[in-house]
Amino acid sequence: MWICEKNELTIKEVLERSISDFEERLLSEEKYEKIKLLQSINFVFLKILYEKLEILVGKEKYWELIRGVYNYVKKINEIEQKLGIKKADKRVRKTKDREVDFDDKKEENKRKKFKNNEKIKKREYNIKPVTKDKIICRFTEGKDTKSWNLTMKLV
């Protein structure tokens, strides 16, 4: 399963590194309680993994762990084959989830634009009557309309 001359790491090294990598990730996320829990379990876990097996002669318990994971993956693949689920179906499901997120963002942006447009229309509606009344007053009073563009038109 793992025995290959091209592999740079042994299974033991991968197990030890994965635990230390996980601990570093927790440290970077500042989850100190989980780090303490991991450190308290870590030694006992590795001790159990390195015990000799009675079932597989000459092997340690981590081989049993790997066999269990491998068998679990095999069972999942068998179930997927029975149901007719293919890798392409899984990819489609992922893209659909992304599209849903994209559609949600699109709708949210539309709502924001609509709200902004409503505010602009409301402001224009408030300005129109005031400016209309002002220009009518200027004409009726006979004032100069050349300076109309300099008058304040906001409410």
pLDDT in tens, 6-15: 667 777 777 7
Q: Is residue 155 part of a domain?
A: yes
Q: Is residue 129 part of a domain?
A: yes
Q: Is residue 61 part of a domain?
A: no
pLDDT in tens, 91-149: 666 666 566 666 677 777 788 888 888 887 777 766 666 566 666 776 677 666 666 55
Determine the pLDDT at residue 13.
Answer: 78
pLDDT in tens, 38-89: 888 887 777 777 777 777 677 777 777 777 777 778 888 888 888 887 777 6
Q: Is residue 103 part of a domain?
A: yes
CA–CA distance, 76 with 89 (Å, rounded to integer): 15
Q: Is residue 4 part of a domain?
A: no
The one-letter amino acid code at 150 reads L
Is 23's pLDDT higher than 80?
A: yes
Q: Is residue 65 part of a domain?
A: no
What are the tokens at 5? 């001359």
pLDDT in tens, 131-146: 666 667 766 776 666 6
Query: How many Cβ atoms sit within 10 Å of the Cβ of residue 4?
Result: 6
Domain limits for position 129: 86-155
Higher-confidence position of 16 and 129: 16
Q: pLDDT category, 1, cuts 50, 70, 90?
A: very low
Q: Is residue 146 part of a domain?
A: yes
Number of domains in the chain: 1
Q: Is residue 99 part of a domain?
A: yes
CA–CA distance, 75 with 113 (Å, rounded to integer): 50
